[in-house]
Amino acid sequence: MTSDDDREAEPGGAEQLALIRETVRKAGGPRARPRTWRGAALAEELPVARVLVDKGLLHLDRLFDYAVPAAMDAEARPGVRVRVRFGAGEREGRREGGGLINGYVVERRADSDFPGTLAPIAQVLSPEPVLGAQLLGLCQAVADRYAGALADVVQLALPPRMARAEKKPSPDPLPPPPAPAPGGWTRYGNGPGLLAALADGGGPRAVWTALPGPGWPDELARALAAALASGRGALAVLPDGRAAARVDAALTALVGRGRHVLLTADAGPEARYRRWLAVSRGAVRGVVGTRAAAFAPVRDLGLAAIWDDADTAHADDRAPQPHAREVLALRAAREHTALLVGGHACSVEAARYVESGWAQPVAAPRETVRAAAPLVRTVGDSEQARDAAARAARLPTLAWQVARDGLRAGPVLVQVPRRGYAPRLACARCRTPARCARCAGPLVGEGRRQALGCGWCAAREDAWRCPACGGTRLRAQVVGARRTAEELGRAFPSVPVRTSGRDHVLAQVPDAPALVVSTPGAEPVAEHGYAAALLLDGWALLNRPDLRAGEEALRRWLTAAALVRGSAEGGVTAVVADPAQRPVQALVRWDPAGFARTELGERAELGFPPVSRMAAVWGPGEAVTAFVGAAGLPPSTEVLGPVPAPDPAAGPRGAAGGGAAPGETWERVLLRVPPGHGAALAAALKTAQAARMARRTGPALRIRIDPPDIG
């Protein structure tokens, strides 16, 4: 929870209400007849509504009772949006005053445990039941797993209301499509069997290591179509809108229009809500979308699928920061549905699914993999340092030759780890990092002849001088995509150079000679595959102080290399990294599943996730120590730390805490429990944080379950 949310807690009322209810319940006292303090007529049957208020505070994470006026009886059904008065103190048993807040009716009851007079529902915002029982149960399970507030998870699950979209009727549901042919799934040993099981109404769970090449959207679409053919629903979650659009197009080609919807932010709020309503009303049973689509209320779900589950885009940056893979795994267990985790890479979490027997692997034979994958060649750092070509254009001779030969046959992809021009600069004489004189942030270069700027406060620096040696010349510690494109333009003056990055992402490039410089995740698709790919600055990925550095480097390399033509067609990929590194060797062999199994084994020996469960607590050192000591953690909890927090103010948006105050030192504690104890750890942290917020004691703390940046 954020510190702003903590400050927004209303005084007195909610805590007193909970205390009164608990006292009456324990004493077995009489339940009050529902009455409204305005004396309005009540609904004759089930006059009490249990409401989830839209206020994501842990100490208010429960349902509240309200009276249902007779005039709202027909519309105030479970699942609808309402407005209620909330936040007032208690005076003579009456809930008076307070402001209006949105909420959702969860249940209608005949009586209430509250001994006083119930306030009435102020308004039914919409008669549309958007929060059904199944979706509510999923949201509660996600909140419990991540030690978060139910209201926060519901906010992630439900799109904002658009009144005009609710007035438009949804189309009539279409009959199930015919079962699709296996298509590309015949290349996988048990691929046709997977599709047959889905079409027959089965619920297999599989980890799919996809072959390189452009065929994966069609293969994923065929799995979705097989589930739809059984008369059930199907759901696929992709890391970004471009990938979702490719699967959407492939599924439309298979089953036609009207049987599925595309749920992404690119559609706009009204169109997205209209499509979501079609799913909620049962008019459509297929969904393709980005991470929020993991909560889509698909009826009779038959298949939940996720592509490239290790991509950080699948983790929401709003509290409690759930991961789409975990949401779908919870759905698979709760709704007894099939689960498909796919990608060119294999995450360690997916490898654990297979290792535990919870899911089965789906992979192609080695000879098929070798034919589909490009030839991978490596360039070591020592070779690059001795190479005159590398010093001239950051391209070792081998990489330069690969690019030159590839340009004769088509476009060449160049992957650079960092965007911008020169994201990190240092003194050319003593290598001291260049820092801003105003805020000590890193100085970055915007172009060859442009002034330096601070990456934090954006202040310009026209006359930088090294504080250590007095030097005035700078060198790039890290070279970004724009400078790489500039250097390649000089090395290949007759070849067009295109860039694709966060500011401008290309979806596709034509099948013509060109150099395409891209940051990871922004690689455009070539019409007939790239003739070659260069994976530059591998050290920048491998040398990160992160438990997942090797896994993430391999995932990014495989994603880029999978766009290159197979070795049978002459496709070549050159990676500039130490050939002895295990991720580089896995890329050369094209063995992501083997790499994931090895990583999983090492983490099991060391007690790291996903074999164990972890939580992180950030905040001022004394407050963190006191919180952990009083949290009532499970006896199996291992406390690691505290250690200085690397940058608390840059923590994930939506977490509990607003960063360190001036002069305040933040620390982090990691809490580790063995398998099977994660739920107890999350419950203890949630209870302790709720009690702390209710008492309003001490500074804000930030808590995160499954922190991604364990260094």
Render pLDDT for 340-365 as a digit per residue (tens, 0 to 9): 999 999 999 999 999 999 999 999 99
Question: Would you state the CATH architecture of domain 613-705?
Answer: 2-Layer Sandwich (3.30)
**pLDDT-above-90 percentage for the chain:** 59
- CA atoms of 35 and 407, how far apart (whole Å): 79
Q: Rounded distance, CA 257 to CA 241, Å?
A: 19
Q: Is the confidence at residue 16, as pLDDT, over 60?
A: no
End-to-end CA distance of the chain: 23
648 pLDDT more than 50: no
Domain residue spans of the chain: 3-129, 183-368, 374-602, 613-705
Cα dihedral sign, 645-648-652-654: positive
pLDDT value at residue 451 = 64
Cβ atoms of 404 and 428 within 8 Å: the answer is: no
Per-residue pLDDT reduced to its tens digit, 194-207: 999 999 999 999 99
pLDDT greater than 70 at residue 8: no
CB 145, CB 328: distance < 8 Å? no
Phi, psi of 323 (to 5 degrees): -100, 135
**Structure-token match 């009207």, residue found:** 258
pLDDT reading at 653 higher than 50: no
Residue located via tokens 């164990």:
612
Concatenated DSSP letters of 67-111: E-BGGGTTT--TT-EEEEEE---EETTEE---EEEEEEEEEEES-
Pick the more confident residue, 276 or 456. 276
Q: How far apart are CA 440 and CA 635, in angstroms?
A: 43
Q: Sorting pLDDT into bands at 50, 70 and 90, what band is 422?
A: very low
Query: What's the rounded mean pLDDT across residues 182-203?
Result: 96
What H or E segment, with its residue span, contains residue 618?
strand 613-620
**Cβ burial 21-36 (10 Å sphere, 16+ → b, else e):** beebeeeeeeebebbb
pLDDT of residue 381: 52
* In the predicted structure, residue 306 carries a pLDDT above the cut 90: yes
C-alpha 349/C-alpha 597 separation (Å) is 10
Write down the pLDDT at residue 260. 97
Cis peptide before 320 (omega within 30 of 0): yes
Q: What is the pLDDT of residue 454?
A: 75
pLDDT for the residue numbered 607: 87
Query: Does residue 544 surpass a pLDDT of 50?
Result: yes
Mean pLDDT within 682-690 = 92
- DSSP, collapsed to helix, strand or coil, labels residue 340 as strand
Task: Give mean pLDDT, residues 113-120.
Answer: 85
Q: Does residue 442 register a pLDDT over 60?
A: yes
> What pLDDT is stored for residue 339 in this prediction?
98
- Residues 149-179: pLDDT tens digits? 999 999 999 999 999 999 999 989 999 999 9
Average pLDDT, integer, range 247-255: 97
508 vs 207: CA distance, rounded Å: 28
Contact 239, 309 (CB under 8 A): no
Q: Calculate mean pLDDT across residues 452-465.
A: 72
Per-residue confidence band for 219, with pLDDT thresholds at 50, 70 and 90: very high
Going by pLDDT thresholds of 50, 70 and 90, the confidence category of residue 12 is very low
Confidence category of residue 471, pLDDT binned at 50, 70, 90: confident
Identical topology for domains 183-368 and 613-705: no
The pLDDT assigned to 652 comes to: 37
Q: Say if residue 388's pLDDT is above 90.
A: no
pTM of the model: 0.84
What are the tens digits of pLDDT across the range 38-81? 566 888 899 999 999 988 788 888 999 999 999 999 999 999 99
Q: Which residue has the higher pLDDT, 219 or 658?
A: 219
* 662 vs 628 pLDDT, higher one: 628
In this prediction, residue 404 carries a pLDDT of: 92
> Please, are residues 464 and 443 in contact by the beta-carbon 8 Å criterion?
yes
The whole-angstrom separation of Cα 346 and Cα 209 is 7
Q: Between residues 621 and 593, which one has the greater pLDDT? A: 593
504-542 per-position pLDDT tens digit: 889 999 999 999 999 898 999 998 999 999 998 887 788
Is the pLDDT higher at 580 or at 116?
A: 580
| Residue (of 135, 137, 127) closest to 158 by Cα position | 135
Q: Where does the pLDDT of residue 462 fall: very low under 50, low under 70, confident under 90, or very high at 90 and above?
A: confident
Question: Percentage of the chain surpassing pLDDT 70?
Answer: 82
For residue 452 the two structure tokens come to 């330096």
Given a contact cutoff of 8 angstroms between Cβ atoms, the answer to whether 533 and 564 are in contact is yes
Residue 391: what pLDDT?
A: 45
Higher local confidence (pLDDT), 191 or 7: 191
The pLDDT of residue 64 is 93
Q: 708 versus 281: which is more confidently predicted? A: 281
Please tell me which residue, 329 or 501, carries the higher pLDDT value.
329
Compute the mean pLDDT over every residue in the chain, rounded to the nearest whole number: 84
Higher pLDDT, 447 or 150: 150
Q: What pLDDT is stored for residue 11 in this prediction?
A: 33
What is the predicted pLDDT for the residue at 482? 62
CB distance 415 to 534 below 8 Å: yes
Tell whether the model's pLDDT for residue 124 goes beyond 70.
yes
Please state the CATH superfamily assignment of the domain spanning residues 183-368 in this structure: P-loop containing nucleotide triphosphate hydrolases (3.40.50.300)
Cis peptide before 642 (omega within 30 of 0): yes
- The residue assigned the tokens 């290309």 is 506
Confidence of residue 90 (pLDDT cuts 50, 70, 90): very low
